[in-house]
Amino acid sequence: MKDMNINTTIPVLGPARIPSPLISQGLACDGKTRFMKDEYRISVDVRVDRVAGAKADEILSFEQAGPREKIYFDPSKLKCAVVTCGGLCPGLNDILRSLVLELYHVYGVKTIYGIRHGLQGFIHKFGHELIELNPQRVSGIQNTGGSMLGSSRGGQDIGEIVDCLERIGVGLLFMVGGDGTLMASKSIGDEILNRGLKISVVGIPKTIDNDIFLVSRSFGFDSAVDVATLAIKGAHNEAEAYPNGIGLIKLMGRYSGFLAATAALAQPDANFVLIPEEQILLHGENGLLAAIERRLALRKHAVIIVAEGAGQNFFEDKDIEHDASGNVKLKDIGLFLKSEISDYFKSKDIPISLKYIDPSYIIRSLPANANDSVFCGLLARDAVHAGMAGKTNLLISFWNNNYVHVPMDASAGRRKKMDPSGRLWQSVLESTGQNSLFNGC
């Protein structure tokens, strides 16, 4: 990370001169303050050997998140808005609830708009009405899945979005979403700066895939692992119950295999784990199909986990399509493998019992588990602290066990991937014993 060309400076709308409403709560019993200062920094690279001997101003670091003693916005005059975009994810309602409670009760902001159905909600032609958010409106929503605001995919005109913000008088906008949303957030923030407006834009990263750059953990991931382990248990039970039983589970992970790898370690019943970061060898002595055959001969059952973005090399480039957000529409590797495995054993006249499980839409639409719910609350509160201080064009990240401010410029448009030589993936290889599928041994 040290050599990366990253600017970690957080833009601000102007000087923060208003005493924070949190001042009355600002001192702990030992006299220490709870307030953060912009000088408090978290090193980007945790490796000591990479920062040892470097001067403080030479060490790449992030601004630490948390409440500031002085804020920029006058809470009695401020209007806020929040929007959720992209795919559903456990924890969206927890984020919304915590944002509203923090703004309303802690800072005294009484006007909070919920933007319906993602970026469409800013555009007049879609006809989505604003929702007035308050503590009563968000009461209990953390117990339900999805997003009370709804969502949508697809880009909208950035100018029209900023026009809407101006028209309704919003001074602070919270955008909750994945990589596409962060790209849109950056564009909105840039347009706001170009117009010379005093509107803060704060992003809260959301992705079950856990693949947002400079974000070590995203909300919803822990919940997804919980549900994924249930699918693995079910696949294993099905496979064991029948002669030559095979359980095939497809999990989320367009470009990164974090969910597949973590779930495989949490529920170590899988014999093969396939991820986007490693190319799959299908045929031949060291290929997946032959490996499954050897596994069945030895143990009479097998369990396979495949991330949705794995094995895309098996499909023709000419068939590439894009969704409304501009993302490449992945080919269904799960159904492809189901067909290939069935055909392989049929050609060898070996009877199998193959069960295919795709729990994706169940995972993403469920409520958050306890760990994610707590995590969402912490992210949301720090998003409010940052926005009220007048900081803008940033996202709230969890990095090196601290909550930090990451400039959107540094993260948007980049993607985090699992290191095939790192501890997580090497642990999966040790757990499954599948090394030969990738190194040709």
Mean pLDDT for 342-346 is 97
Q: Give the pLDDT of residue 34.
A: 78
Reading the block at residue 7, the tokens are: 């600017």
Other beta carbons within 10 Å of 300: 13
What fold, for 18-218+366-411? Rossmann fold (3.40.50)
Residue 317 scores a pLDDT above 80: no
Q: Give the pLDDT of residue 2.
A: 46
The pairing of strands 245-251 and 353-357 is parallel
The pairing of strands 200-205 and 245-251 is unpaired
Q: Which position among 179, 209, 269, 372 bears the catalytic label?
A: 209
Helices (H), 102-170: 158-168
Taking only the tens place, the pLDDT of each residue in 74-114 is 999 999 999 999 999 999 999 999 999 999 999 999 999 99
Name beta bridge partners: 69.
none
Q: Report d(CA 377, CA 199) in Å as an integer.
A: 23
The pairing of strands 70-71 and 18-19 is antiparallel
Taking only the tens place, the pLDDT of each residue in 30-49 is 667 778 899 988 888 755 45
**Coil, strand or helix at 139:** coil
Please indicate whether residue 94 or residue 25 has the higher confidence score (pLDDT): 94
pLDDT averaged over the chain? Answer: 91
Domain boundaries, the chain: 18-218+366-411, 223-364+420-439
Instruction: Please determine whether the domains at 18-218+366-411 and 223-364+420-439 fall in the same fold group of CATH.
Output: yes
Mean pLDDT for 122-136 is 96
Q: Report d(CA 278, CA 324) in Å as an integer.
A: 28
Taking only the tens place, the pLDDT of each residue in 398-419 is 999 999 999 999 998 899 999 9
Q: Which amino acid is at 332?
A: D
**Coil, strand or helix at 102:** helix
336 class by beta-carbon count within 10 Å (0-12 exposed, 13-18 middle, 19+ buried): middle
Share of the chain above pLDDT 90, in %: 79
209 is catalytic: yes
Residue 165 scores a pLDDT above 90: yes
Q: Give the pLDDT of residue 33.
A: 76
Taking only the tens place, the pLDDT of each residue in 224-279 is 999 999 999 999 999 999 999 999 999 999 999 999 999 999 999 999 999 999 98
- Residue bearing tokens 């994610």: 372
Give the right CATH number for 223-364+420-439 from 3.10.180.10, 3.40.1280.10, 2.102.10.10, 3.40.50.460: 3.40.50.460
Residue 56 scores a pLDDT above 60: no
Residue 125 scores a pLDDT above 80: yes
